[in-house]
Structure 1
C-alpha cells in the first residue's frame, strides 16, 4: 500500500526524536498518540520497524551524543526518510541485494574522499574512499561495523577496559591494543596489522586466529586464509598515495577504479603487464597518462566517466 510523503516524513522524525539521549516520557506518549491517530501512521511505523530488523541497527551511532544538535538530527532524519522512500511498497526483501543499507551508515565517504574521525574514547578512525561504517559504543563494548570499503583504526586506552571489535559480513576482528586496516571486498574481508596484534574470528565462529604486526589475513564467512607478510606501505592511502611493487596492470587499474567515478577498465591483452611505483591518488588521469609513457598501452577515453587501458 502506497503511503503519502507526509506520513513517512513524520515516521522518520519520530524515529530520530526517540533515539535522542534526552528523550522524555512526554515525547514517548506523544509518539503513542500519533501512532493511534490514523491507520497510516501505524503502517509507516511498521515499515520502519521491518527495515530496522532487516538491516540491523538503524541509529545515529557516533552522532548519538549530538542528537540534541539540530544539524545532527536533520542529518539522521534525512537518512531515515530516504530509506523509507526508497523502500516504497515492495517491503525489504529486494533491498538485501542492493547497496541501499549504506544510506543508514553512521559515517560514509564518496569516491575519492577520505574522512578522519576521533571516537568517544579517543580512538582514531580513518575512512578511505567509498566506505561506510556504523559505530556503537556501550558500557561493555566498543564496536565498528564496516559495511563497505576500507578503514584504518588506531585504538586508544579505554578507561572502562572495553574490547574494541570491528565487524564485517565475514567475521570480526578484536584489537589487542593496536593500529590496523580492514578492507571489505565482494566476497571477503582482509585485515592488515600495522602495530601490535588482532584476533580474527569468522562469522561461522571458528577458532580465533591471531595476526601480529607486519602481517595480513584474508577471511570469508567460513574460511580463513594463510597469515602473510603485509605489503610495504599498506597505509599509504592515508597519505593520498598508492605504492605498488611488481603488480599486474589489471590489479593496478582495479585499485585505481576505487578512486575514480565511472568506468575504468583494462584490456585482457595488457592485463598481465607488471608495474611498480608510487602514485598520487589525487589525480587518476595523470597516473593513466604516465602509464602510456612507460608501458606499451594507450588510454582510450570516451568521456570523463568511461576510460579503458588498451594495447598501444
Structure 2
C-alpha cells in the first residue's frame, strides 16, 4: 500500500514549495517554512515526497536520459562497465540514485529497464509484432526484454504493463516478473509489474502462474485475474474486459470511483496527480483519450462538481468545486 502522507499535508507541502520557489530570497518566508517543517513528522515526510517529485523535472531528467545513453553504449560494447559506472556517478550521484529508489526498484532492475529491448516513455503506448507472430502492447513507462531461442520464448517484464496475444508456436512461452513466472496456454492476457506484486488479467485461454520463492502454482482461466508475490497467490477475481482498452489509447470507466480513475490516469502523466478524499468517491463513466490527459482533466471538470488546482506545473490535484 501507499504510505505517503495524507492529501491535505501533501497540499501544504506543495504550497510551501511553490511559495519558496517564487520568493527564494525572502528570509521571513524561509523561517515560516522551517517552523512548519519542524512541527510534525508528517510535514517532513510530505516535503520529501514533493522534493522527490520535483527532482524528475529540471536537470535530473537530463541526467536520466544521459544515463540511458551510457547504458546503450555499454550494450553495444562501446564502453567498459567501469566507464559506465564512472559516467553514472558524474551524471547525478546521490540524486540519480535517489530517483531510482523513488521508482521503487533496485539499481540492477532500473539498469536493465534502461537497456531493455522494448521501452515506452511515460504516456506512450506501443504495439509490437514479435518474430513468432505474437502481438505485444506496451503500456506507459514499460520496459521488457524478448529472448527467443530454438527451444523457448521468454519475455522479461521489468516495469509497467504488457498485453499479449500469443501466436501459435511449438516453443513454450514464458513471461518473467520480479515475483515469478507466467506460462500462457494459448491466450490473450495482461501482466502488470507493481511495487511488490504482479497483477495478471486473463482475457482468453488460460495462464499458469508460479511464484519465484515458494514455487506455488495456479492456473488462471479466461475471465479471471489475480495478484501474486514471490511466495503467495491471491484469490481469483472477475476481470474487467474494458481494462485492456489502454492498448487502443483509451481509458474506459464503467461506474468506477474518481479516486480509482485518477490512480489509473496518473500512470500516463509526469508529476503528481492527486484527488481530495472528499470527492474521491464520485462515480466516473465514459471513454477518455490517453494521448491527451489535459483533455481528460477538462472533461472531468466539465461533468463533475470538481475543480483542477495547479499548484505547480508538475503538481495537479482535483478539489471540490
TM-score by length of 2: 0.68
Q: Counterpart in 2 of 1:283?
A: 292
Which of residues 265, 281, 295 in structure 2 aligns to 1:272? 281
C-alpha spacing 1:144/1:269, structure 2 compared with 1 (3 Å): same
Work out whether residues 216 and 231 of structure 2, in 8 Å CA contact, stay in contact via their aligned partners in 1: no
C-alpha spacing 1:108/1:11, structure 2 compared with 1 (3 Å): closer
* 2:87 is the alignment partner of 1:85: yes
* CA displacement at 1:269 relative to structure 2: 2.1
* CA displacement at 1:304 relative to structure 2: 4.0
Tell me how far apart the structure 2 counterparts of residues 125 and 261 of structure 1 sit (CA, whole Å).
24
C-alpha spacing 1:111/1:13, structure 2 compared with 1 (3 Å): closer
* CA displacement at 1:134 relative to structure 2: 1.0
Map Cα deviations across residues 210-247 of structure 1 (whole Å, 9 max, x no partner): 11111111111111111111113121111111112232
Q: Which structure exhibits the higher relative contact order, with contacts defined as CA atoms closer than 8 Å and separated by 6 or more residues? A: 2
* Structure 1 residues without counterparts, runs of 5 or longer: 1-8, 19-40, 49-80
Alignment of 1:70-219 (within 5 A): 85-86=87-88, 97-98=106-107, 99-158=110-169, 161-219=170-228
* CA displacement at 1:293 relative to structure 2: 2.8
Work out whether residues 75 and 115 of structure 2, in 8 Å CA contact, stay in contact via their aligned partners in 1: no
Alignment of 1:211-290 (within 5 A): 211-290=220-299
Work out whether residues 255 and 283 of structure 2, in 8 Å CA contact, stay in contact via their aligned partners in 1: yes
* CA displacement at 1:169 relative to structure 2: 0.4
C-alpha spacing 1:209/1:110, structure 2 compared with 1 (3 Å): same
* 2:76 is the alignment partner of 1:16: yes
Tell me how far apart the structure 2 counterparts of residues 289 and 116 of structure 1 sit (CA, whole Å).
28
Q: Report the 3-state secondary structure (helix = DSSP H, G, I; strand = E; otherwise coil) of the residue aligned with 2:296.
A: helix
C-alpha spacing 1:209/1:12, structure 2 compared with 1 (3 Å): closer
Work out whether residues 165 and 189 of structure 2, in 8 Å CA contact, stay in contact via their aligned partners in 1: yes
Tell me how far apart the structure 1 counterparts of residues 183 and 279 of structure 2 sit (CA, whole Å).
40
Q: Report the 3-state secondary structure (helix = DSSP H, G, I; strand = E; otherwise coil) of the residue aligned with 1:101.
A: helix
* CA displacement at 1:17 relative to structure 2: 5.3
* Structure 2 residues without counterparts, runs of 5 or longer: 1-68
* CA displacement at 1:121 relative to structure 2: 1.2
* CA displacement at 1:148 relative to structure 2: 0.6
TM-score by length of 1: 0.70
C-alpha spacing 1:270/1:13, structure 2 compared with 1 (3 Å): closer
Q: Report the 3-state secondary structure (helix = DSSP H, G, I; strand = E; otherwise coil) of the residue aligned with 2:268.
A: coil
Q: Counterpart in 2 of 1:25?
A: none
Which of residues 299, 306, 311 in structure 1 aligns to 2:315? 306
Map Cα deviations across residues 14-69 of structure 1 (whole Å, 9 max, x no partner): 86359xxxxxxxxxxxxxxxxxxxxxx9xx45x48xxxxxxxxxxxxxxxxxxxxx
Map Cα deviations across residues 130-187 of structure 1 (whole Å, 9 max, x no partner): 10011111222211011111111111122xx211011110111101111111111112
